[in-house]
Each structure stands twice: as C-alpha cells, then as structure tokens.
C-alpha cells in the first residue's frame, strides 16, 4: 500500500471497529484473538499516528498469539537492528522459517542498504521484481525503499523501469503519486506541484491531494497559496488533523506564532494522535516568542506523556530544555539539563558544544576548550563545517574576538569552496582587535555575499547593522564607505 493511502484506510469504518476492539481489550485486560493481518494493520496505524510504543506492544502481542508469525518477527528485527542491537536482530532473523517470503527479502535488502552494500541489495530487488513480473506494485515498492534512505540514484533507476513499462502521470494515478513523493523527497516541489494540481483537478474532494499541494507550496515558501490549499481541505473536513497541523505550521513559517499556538493547542486538546509532534511545535513557537518557561512546560509534558521514546529523542528534548534555561540566564539549571541530555546520548556533539558554551559563560575557559576539542573528534564529517562556525559563534557572543578569528579562519581554510558563513563575525572581530585591513577585506566579501543573496537572515541583519553603525560613526570624517552600500 502506498504511504499516502494509509490515512484514508485508517478512516474506514471497519478499521475503526478494529481499533475499538483492540483498545477495549487493552483497557479491560481481557485477551482477544486477532489474526496476523489485523495486528500488523494496528501496528502500522500506531506508527502512523506517532505512537511507536503502542505499535511495539501490538507486535509483542502478535508474537504471543502467533510465535512464528513472519510479519511480527520482521517488525521486531527492524526495531532491534535500528536501535543498535544487531546481534539480537540477527539471532531473531535466523528463526524465520520462510526466507523466500516477500517481506523477508525486503528486510534483507533494507539491512544490506543500511550497511551500504548496495550491489547485494540490488540483486535481491532484481529477484523480487522478476518474481512478480516487474509489476507496477513491486517496482513502486522498491522506489519507495530507496526514497526512504534518500538514495536518489537508485530510486531514479527503478522509477525509470516503471516509465519504460509505459506508465506516466496521464495514465496512472499510482505513478503520479509516486512521482510526487519522489519530487518532494529530492527537493523538487515545483514538479510535484504540477502533478498534484492534476490530481486535485481530477479529485477535487480529496483531502490527501489538497494537503499534498499545500506541502508543495510550503516547500516553496508560497504561504498564501498554501493557506488556500489548506482551506479547501478544511472545507471538506474542518476537523482533519493533518490539515489543521498544516495550517498551524503555515502560520509558524509566517512567524505568526500566536495563531499557530492557538491551532496547535486546540489540536492537543481534541486529539490523541501525534501529540509528541504537537508538543514539539508548541515548544518551538514559545521559544520563538521568548516565552521559555512555557516552552519548558511543553517539553516536560512531551517527556511525561511519552516515557518510552528513544534515548536519542530524550537527549534532544533535555538539550532544548537546557537551552531554554540558558536563555533565561539560569545557567545552573542549564548545566543540569544538558548533563541529563548527555546521559542519554553521550556522543551528541551538539550537546557537547552547548555544554562548552555554558562553561564559556561562567568563565571556565579550560573546560570549554576541552569540550570543543572533544566535539571536533566525534563530529561527523558532513557536520564539521557547521560545528567549526558554531564554536566561533559561541566565542563571538562573549566578545572573545581572537578565538572567533581562530575558529572562523580554521573553517574557511578547511572549506575554501563553501560560502563563508562566519564572514560577518570575522570582519567585526578583526575591527575589534584593531586589524582594520583584515576587517575591511572581510567586509567586502560579506557585502558580495549579501548582494548575491548568500547570507542567511541573521548574518544579513548583522551586516546591515554593522555598516549602518560604521557610516553613522564616520559621517563627519573623510572616509569613503560608498563601496559598502547595500
């Protein structure tokens, strides 16, 4: 089943009866028999609404009723493997009786992809495709597998096989839906928009397609059009949770946080689905408004209502709480919660950087420098550039300009072909230590990046302020600053 079809399936009366039957059993502690397909559908439902813990319980119950059930074993193997318990996952994999089962083969391919063994995975997919006569369904499933791991090259290859079979947007809704997912996955919302416009023209009462179109507009920052698409969806069902969430998210992107909060809080009071995501968005809104205690309330509620969330998520929540306390000037509380974060994920370099910044703020430079070095050692290669600039920013906020220069220059030396994200701070720091030659050289580069729209908004605002201040201070002096006009 295509992922986009799940929401409509879960709204069907028969499935709602199945949910009521299962949840009634849980509430009354009275065991009831369910077949394997029913339990698998229930697990899919709980995953869809963000209740992974409930999905785990469903599949544990499935193994109690059907100890050798392949679907339940596959689910548990995936959970174990992606939580790092690879040995236990392999032991459980050896218990599967039918290793030629379709889903078992998909599992084997997924695990091979996780190990970057693409050639071996491709052999399995080819075997599956041939066994099912290269049907549209099997080819689509393989494309989705590669989209899930963000592998554009292989996803495109298998999508081409579908096109070679004669399927296109004009003659196949399945292909059109898959093409939309492909475009959105690989950052081409313009093409997805064209396909979705065709779909809403043909299915004007489909909430799925109106919401999909809204997501395309949001990806392109076309907020007015996004609101219009969401309003069509809400006209069909004013209580549709996805539509309401999209409406709130649209307001967030427009920085209308009060309206976003109003909608999110309404959802949190009327729905039990995906409340973890609602808590996260509410906390972010309150952080943006500078209402850090309210943000802490929602982060805390998230931890309370979802005690079984992964250690990774717990670590992130505790780090966010720490940052809120630091913004409130409560550094002792900030240190307490960043230590909680590191208990759950000791190698999270973002948390280590944050703890180092707290040490900087209390004047313990030796401890800060030690942690910055530790973050350097464990930071993934694809995050290293951002990390170096983050360290420079930590020093910049405390006006430690020699260290700002050291870390910015290190980043620019290691990544000479990248946009110089710290160029404004570097220019300012040079001026502050009296190196006007270096300051003006960096300022020229910063102005060039600004005019080419290559500075983010925070750096652009800082550059504007910096140049305005320079022009104001030197307006009575014979200094030509015209080349720095923005």
Write out 218-268 in H/E/C secondary structure.
HHCCCHHHHHHHHHHHHHHCCCCHHHHHHHHHHHHHCCCHHHHHHHHHHHH
Helix (H) or strand (E) holding 371: helix 365-378
Q: What is the per-residue pLDDT for 258?
A: 97
Rg (CA), the chain: 27
What is the spatial distance between Cα 447 and Cα 453, in angstroms, rounded to a whole number? 10
Q: What is the per-residue pLDDT for 114?
A: 85
- Residue range 454-472: mean pLDDT, rounded: 86
- Residue range 388-404: mean pLDDT, rounded: 94
- Residue range 309-319: mean pLDDT, rounded: 91
- Residue range 269-283: mean pLDDT, rounded: 87
Beta strand ranges found along 234-366 (DSSP E): none
- CA-closest candidate to residue 328, choices 290, 369, 282, 286: 290
Q: What is the per-residue pLDDT for 176?
A: 97
What residues does each domain of the chain span? Answer: 412-486
Q: What is the per-residue pLDDT for 1?
A: 44
What is the spatial distance between Cα 209 and Cα 152, in angstroms, rounded to a whole number? 24
* pTM, to two decimals: 0.79
Q: What is the per-residue pLDDT for 8?
A: 67
Out of 251-255, 392-396, 406-410, 482-486, which region has the weakest mean confidence (pLDDT)? 482-486
Q: Is pLDDT above 80 for 482?
A: no
Helix (H, G, I), strand (E, B) or coil at 33: coil
Residues with Cβ within 8 Å of 155's Cβ and at least 6 positions away in sequence, in order, are: 143, 146, 147, 182, 185, 186
Out of 26-35, 463-472, 473-482, which region has the weakest mean confidence (pLDDT)? 473-482
Q: Comparing 193 with 478, which gets the higher pLDDT?
A: 193
Residue for token pair 């109690």:
64
What is the spatial distance between Cα 346 and Cα 357, in angstroms, rounded to a whole number? 17
Out of 214-223, 256-265, 300-309, which region has the weakest mean confidence (pLDDT)? 300-309
Q: Count CB-CB contacts under 10 A for residue 264.
A: 28
Q: What is the per-residue pLDDT for 151?
A: 94
Q: Comparing 160 with 306, which gets the higher pLDDT?
A: 160
- pLDDT tens, 203-213? 999 999 999 99
What is the spatial distance between Cα 474 and Cα 407, in angstroms, rounded to a whole number? 30
- CA-closest candidate to residue 403, choices 380, 385, 426, 421: 426
- CA-closest candidate to residue 345, choices 312, 379, 309, 307: 312
- Residue range 456-477: mean pLDDT, rounded: 81
Q: What is the per-residue pLDDT for 417?
A: 86
Q: Is pLDDT above 90 for 188?
A: yes
- CA-closest candidate to residue 436, choices 385, 390, 479: 479
Q: What is the per-residue pLDDT for 234?
A: 97
When the pLDDT of each residue in the chain is averaged and rounded to a whole number, the result is: 90
Out of 190-204, 278-292, 455-469, which region has the weakest mean confidence (pLDDT)? 455-469
Q: Comparing 21 with 306, which gets the higher pLDDT?
A: 21
- CA-closest candidate to residue 215, choices 206, 205, 200, 225: 225
* Residues 241, 11 contacting (CB under 8 angstroms): no
Out of 27-41, 158-172, 183-197, which region has the weakest mean confidence (pLDDT)? 27-41
Confidence of residue 486 (pLDDT cuts 50, 70, 90): low
Q: Is pLDDT above 50 for 194?
A: yes
What is the spatial distance between Cα 250 and Cα 218, in angstroms, rounded to a whole number? 7
Q: Is pLDDT above 80 for 342?
A: yes
- The alpha-helical segments, DSSP class H, found in 132-206 are 136-148, 152-164, 173-185, 189-202
Q: Is pLDDT above 90 for 97?
A: no
Q: What is the per-residue pLDDT for 89?
A: 85
Q: Comparing 6 with 69, which gets the higher pLDDT?
A: 69
* Percent of the chain residues past pLDDT 70, beyond the cut: 95
23 alpha-carbon distance from chain centroid: 30
Confidence of residue 434 (pLDDT cuts 50, 70, 90): very high
């Amino acid at each position: 089943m295509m992922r986009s079809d799940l929401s409509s399936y879960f709204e069907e009366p028969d499935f709602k009866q199945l949910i009521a039957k299962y949840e009634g059993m849980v509430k009354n502690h009275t065991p009831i028999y369910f077949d394997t397909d029913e339990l698998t559908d229930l697990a899919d439902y709980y995953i869809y609404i963000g209740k992974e813990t409930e999905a785990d319980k469903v599949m544990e119950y499935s193994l109690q009723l059907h100890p050798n059930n392949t679907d339940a074993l596959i689910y548990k193997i995936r959970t174990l493997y992606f939580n790092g318990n690879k040995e236990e996952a392999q032991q459980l994999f050896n218990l599967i009786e039918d290793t030629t089962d379709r889903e078992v083969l998909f599992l084997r391919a997924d695990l091979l992809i996780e190990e970057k063994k693409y050639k071996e995975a491709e052999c399995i997919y080819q075997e599956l495709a041939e066994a099912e006569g290269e049907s549209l369904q099997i080819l689509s499933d393989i494309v989705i597998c590669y989209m899930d791991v963000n592998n554009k090259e292989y996803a495109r290859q298998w999508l081409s096989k579908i096109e070679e079979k004669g399927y296109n947007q004009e003659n196949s809704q399945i292909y059109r839906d898959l093409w939309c997912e492909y475009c959105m996955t690989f950052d081409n919302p313009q093409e997805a928009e064209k396909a979705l416009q065709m779909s809403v023209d043909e299915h004007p009462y489909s909430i799925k397609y109106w919401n999909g179109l809204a997501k395309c507009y949001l990806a392109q920052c076309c907020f007015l059009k996004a609101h219009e698409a969401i309003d069509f969806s809400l006209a069909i069902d004013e209580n549709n949770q996805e539509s309401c969430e999209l409406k709130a998210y649209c307001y967030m992107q427009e920085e209308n946080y009060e309206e976003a909060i109003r909608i999110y809080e309404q959802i949190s009071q009327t729905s039990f689905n995906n409340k973890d995501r609602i808590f996260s968005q509410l906390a972010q809104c309150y952080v943006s408004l500078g209402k850090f205690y309210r943000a802490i309330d929602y982060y805390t509620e998230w931890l309370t209502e979802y005690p079984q969330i992964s250690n990774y998520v717990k670590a992130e929540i505790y780090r966010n709480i720490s940052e809120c306390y630091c913004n409130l000037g409560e550094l002792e509380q900030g240190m307490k919660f960043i230590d909680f974060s590191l208990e759950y994920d000791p190698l999270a370099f973002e948390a280590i950087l944050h703890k180092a910044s707290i040490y900087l703020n209390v004047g313990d430079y030796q401890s800060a420098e030690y942690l910055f070095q530790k973050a350097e050692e464990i930071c993934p290669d694809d995050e290293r550039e951002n990390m170096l600039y983050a360290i420079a920013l930590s020093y910049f906020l405390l006006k430690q300009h020699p260290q700002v220069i050291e870390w910015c220059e290190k980043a620019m030396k290691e990544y000479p072909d990248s946009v110089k994200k710290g160029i404004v701070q570097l220019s300012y720091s040079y001026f502050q230590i009296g190196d006007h030659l270096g300051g003006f050289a960096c300022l020229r580069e910063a102005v060039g990046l600004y005019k080419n729209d290559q500075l983010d908004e925070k750096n652009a605002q800082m550059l504007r302020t910096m140049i305005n201040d320079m022009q104001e201070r030197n307006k009575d002096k014979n200094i030509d600053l015209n080349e720095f006009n923005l």
